[in-house]
Amino acid sequence: MKKTSEKKRFDLLSPLLRLLTWSAAALTTLIVLYLVGYILIKGVPHLTPSLFAWTYTSENVSLTPALVNTLLMTLLALLLSAPLGICSAVFLVEYAKRGSKVVKVIRLASETLAGIPSIVYGLFGLIFFVVTMHWGYSILAGGFTLAIMVLPLIMRTTEEALLSVPDTYREGAFGLGAGRLRTVFRIVLPAAVPGILAGIILAVGRVVGETAALIFTAGTLAQIPKSPLESARTLSVHMYNLSSEGLHINQTYATAVVLMLLVLGINALSSALARMLGGGKSSK
Amino acid sequence: MNRRPDYSFRSFLEIVMEVIFLLAACVSVLCVALICVFLFANGLPAIGKIGPLQFLLGTKWKPGNDLFGIAPMILGSLYVTAGAILVGVPVGVLTALFLARFCPRKLYQILRPAVNLMAGLPSIIYGFFGLVVLVPWMRGLFGAGKSILTAAILLGIMILPTVISVSESALRAVPAQYYEGALALGATHERSVFFMVLPAAKSGVTASIVLGIGRAVGETMAVIMVAGNQAMIPESITSGVRTLTANIVLEMGYAADLHREALIATAAVLFVFILLINLLLSLMKRRTAK
């Protein structure tokens, strides 16, 4: 078959292959546009003031408490996982001998964590934080669960950011008599800030979009919690509840718009920061 | 004069901070250990009580009658994932080929952010989209809205960004000589890309597929909303199905005693699946590194 088509001057296969790739790309684009467009068109007209009322009732299905809870949850998860993730990455890149046993074990662990589905995190959070630690369905349990979930993400992005700092920076600092610690905090970390921030913001995006890990750890109470041991539903969980109840379909579309724009805005910010790092690297 | 104590304080601080960094790095190991211990400690006794064979191969899941067989859910996860791969991989790999080797520069600046946007969308949004758009479509076409097919299509869409991004970077990493050599031998641009560059990027493309499998197996919220969730072995691709992940979310809220332990055991089975997929992935990475 191949031989004959090669002998022939007229090549049918090449345009066909070209057409295939173009149509696949067109299909992908179409899906994105349709998905985002559909939700925007259906949702934007229903963004009414009552949807943003301060307290939730079953009539106005306000998303404000959920939005505040999302903010609190994100803060809590990041306060826990950002310092841990950054310190881990500093250890892996700046301190550990490359290829040592410790590094291998840590890498394996963080890769494993990165692959675990969010529902398994949710169940672990339920068994460990909610039941064993007696925290109950609470924002604290949810925050700890999500912190573990985004830890590998922050570790990996920070590692990449640290690795992209040229070795000449470190050599210069050592040459001027700075110790390892001073080099890390004064030279390497400041140079890697945009990359680290990009990773953290990516983690924020994941926390905001997470549902499965929160249903059984933070619960579904649609109120702003008065203490960290109270249940609190985030925007994604709110969205899930609304769409599975199916009673307020228009408000669900509107909530989807808010959630979508929030997550997309966060991700855009992250990639803008990552570009800043990339630009800085190429100019040096 | 005060230099010496300063030095010793510094070196003391150096050691303290190094230990702190090491401890921080060990937290992830601790987390994996904790997850394993708690999942298996709570799940394995249930498997023991039910009997490993009855649990893994039993076809009846009726918690009310103390029947806990998760074979329908294992099959469900398998079918839905296989479907997602069939739907998502061809489109994803072809799109990656387009982005890496065919795409005009200007178009790339639109398409790349579009793919990133897809990767960033929360699964609950995909699920909602599936519920309000895909399910009615499928009902119109096949009579059954929530089915394996619907879940497979939705998951196929959801794994697209993973497949595209990983495949694209693999395709871009192929040395230019491969492509140029093929051109020099008289192949057209398309033939060089498809028969020279794509085979050379095989390991990266395979890795993207395995990552996609991992995502599809672990997906929960989107699947719940479109798969129908019947805990039975499906008869055809248009019948409803329940995955391992869905089983946990649907019943954990009210489960007690053995039922609850059986659900945790379900999560343990899912966890083992994911570990196997990760193992496969790291084996592949090691092979490409050599």
B182 and B250 both lie in a single domain: yes
Q: Provide the pLDDT for residue A220.
A: 85
Searching chain B, which residue's CA lies closest to the CA of residue A137? B253
Q: Is A21 left (phi over 0), alpha (psi -120 to 50) or beta?
A: alpha
Q: Provide the pLDDT for residue B286.
A: 78
Nearest-5° Cα angle at B39, B123 to B279: 70
- Percent of chain A at pLDDT exceeding 70: 94
B149 and B181 both lie in a single domain: yes
Contacts of B113 by beta carbon, 8 Å cutoff, 6+ apart: A271
Q: Provide the pLDDT for residue A96.
A: 87
B35 and B118 both lie in a single domain: no
pLDDT of B160 > 80? The answer is yes
Q: DSSP character for B174?
A: S
B86 and B177 both lie in a single domain: yes
Higher pLDDT, B4 or A70: A70
| Interface-testing mutation among B128, B166, B167, with chain A (most A C-beta atoms within 10 A) | B128
Q: Is the dihedral of CA A152, A214, B229, B122 positive or negative?
A: negative
Q: Is residue A171 part of a domain?
A: yes
Q: Is residue A51 part of a domain?
A: no
B45 and B99 both lie in a single domain: no
pLDDT of A6 > 70? The answer is no
Please name every residue paired with B241 in a beta bridge, in sequence order, or none if there are none: B228
Q: Provide the pLDDT for residue B5.
A: 52
CB contact under 8 A, A38 and B35: no
Residues from chain B that touch A31, judged by Cβ atoms under 8 A, are 118, 157, 160
Q: Provide the pLDDT for residue B6.
A: 60
- Using alpha carbons only, how large is chain A's radius of gyration in Å? 24
A120 closest CA partner among B276, B271, B256, B262: B271
B281-287: average pLDDT: 81
Range of the domain at B29: 3-57
Q: Is residue A212 part of a domain?
A: yes
B35 and B171 both lie in a single domain: no
Q: Which two tokens stand for residue B29?
A: 């190991």
Q: Is the dihedral of CA A100, A106, A108, A111 positive or negative?
A: negative
Give the C-alpha separation, A265 to A252, whole Å: 20
Taking a contact as any Cβ pair under 8 Å apart, which residues of chain A between 100 and 119 contact chain B? 102, 105-106, 108-113, 115-119
Which of A87, A179, A267 is opposite residue B24, by nearest beta carbon?
A87
Q: Is residue A38 part of a domain?
A: no
Range of the domain at A203: 63-283
pLDDT of B287 > 80? The answer is no
Q: DSSP character for B70?
A: -
Q: Is residue B66 part of a domain?
A: no
B25 and B148 both lie in a single domain: no
Number of domains chain B is built from: 2
Residues from chain A that touch B22, judged by Cβ atoms under 8 A, are 91, 95, 102
HEC letters along A198-234: HHHHHHHHHHHHCCHHHHCCCCCCCCCCCCCCCCCCC
Contacts of A123 by beta carbon, 8 Å cutoff, 6+ apart: A216, B39, B248, B252, B263, B264, B267
Which of A31, A108, A126 is opposite residue B157, by nearest beta carbon?
A31
Q: Which two tokens stand for residue B52?
A: 């490993």
Instruction: Give tens-digit pLDDT for A71-127.
Output: 999 999 999 999 999 999 999 999 988 778 888 899 889 989 998 999 999 999 999
Query: End-to-end distance of chain A based on CA atoms, in angstroms?
Result: 53
CB contact under 8 A, B121 and A264: yes
Q: Is residue B63 part of a domain?
A: no
What CATH number does residue A177 fall under?
1.10.3720.10
Helix axes A189-209, A249-283, angle to 10 degrees: 160
Searching chain B, which residue's CA lies closest to the CA of residue A261? B121
B50 and B165 both lie in a single domain: no
pLDDT of A178 > 90? The answer is no
Q: Is the dihedral of CA B181, B182, B188, B190 positive or negative?
A: negative
CB contact under 8 A, A148 and B31: yes
B261 closest CA partner among B35, B32, B38: B38
CB contact under 8 A, A115 and B278: yes
pLDDT of A8 > 60? The answer is no
Residues from chain A that touch B254, judged by Cβ atoms under 8 A, are none
Q: Return the amino acid letter for B12.
A: F
Contact at 8 Å (CB) between A274 and A192? no
CB contact under 8 A, A17 and B103: no
B51 and B147 both lie in a single domain: no
B149 and B227 both lie in a single domain: yes
Higher pLDDT, A171 or A5: A171
Residues from chain A that touch B252, judged by Cβ atoms under 8 A, are 123, 126, 216
Q: Is residue A174 part of a domain?
A: yes
What CATH number does residue B244 fall under?
1.10.3720.10
CB contact under 8 A, A209 and B29: no
Q: Is residue A133 part of a domain?
A: yes
Instruction: Give tens-digit pLDDT for B8-51.
Output: 777 888 889 999 999 999 999 999 999 999 999 999 999 999 99
Searching chain B, which residue's CA lies closest to the CA of residue A236? B124
Q: Return the amino acid letter for B195.
A: F
Mean pLDDT (chain B) is 90
Q: How confident is the model at residue A244 (pLDDT cuts 50, 70, 90)?
A: confident
- Using alpha carbons only, how large is chain B's radius of gyration in Å? 24
Instruction: Give tens-digit pLDDT for B166-214.
Output: 999 999 999 999 999 999 998 999 999 999 999 999 989 999 999 999 9
Q: Is residue B67 part of a domain?
A: no
Number of domains chain A is built from: 1
B160 and B262 both lie in a single domain: yes
pLDDT of B243 > 60? The answer is yes
A206-212: average pLDDT: 92
Instruction: Give tens-digit pLDDT for A13-56.
Output: 899 999 999 999 999 999 999 999 999 999 999 998 888 888 88
CB contact under 8 A, A116 and B274: yes
Q: How confident is the model at residue A12 (pLDDT cuts 50, 70, 90)?
A: confident
HEC letters along A133-196: CCCCCCHHHHHHHHHHHHHHHHHHHHHHHHHCCCHHHHHHHHHCCCCHHHHHHHHHHHHHHHHH
Give the C-alpha separation, B116 to B127, whole Å: 18
DSSP per-residue letters across B209-220: HHHHHHHHHH--
Q: Is residue B272 part of a domain?
A: yes
Q: DSSP character for B241?
A: B
- Is the ipTM higher than 0.90? The answer is no
- Percent of chain B at pLDDT exceeding 90: 70
Q: Is residue A46 part of a domain?
A: no
Work out the minimum CA distance from A50 to partner chain B, whole angstroms: 22
B101 and B221 both lie in a single domain: yes
Q: Provide the pLDDT for residue A283.
A: 36
Give the C-alpha separation, B217 to A7, whole Å: 46
Contact at 8 Å (CB) between A233 and A218? yes
Q: Is residue A158 part of a domain?
A: yes
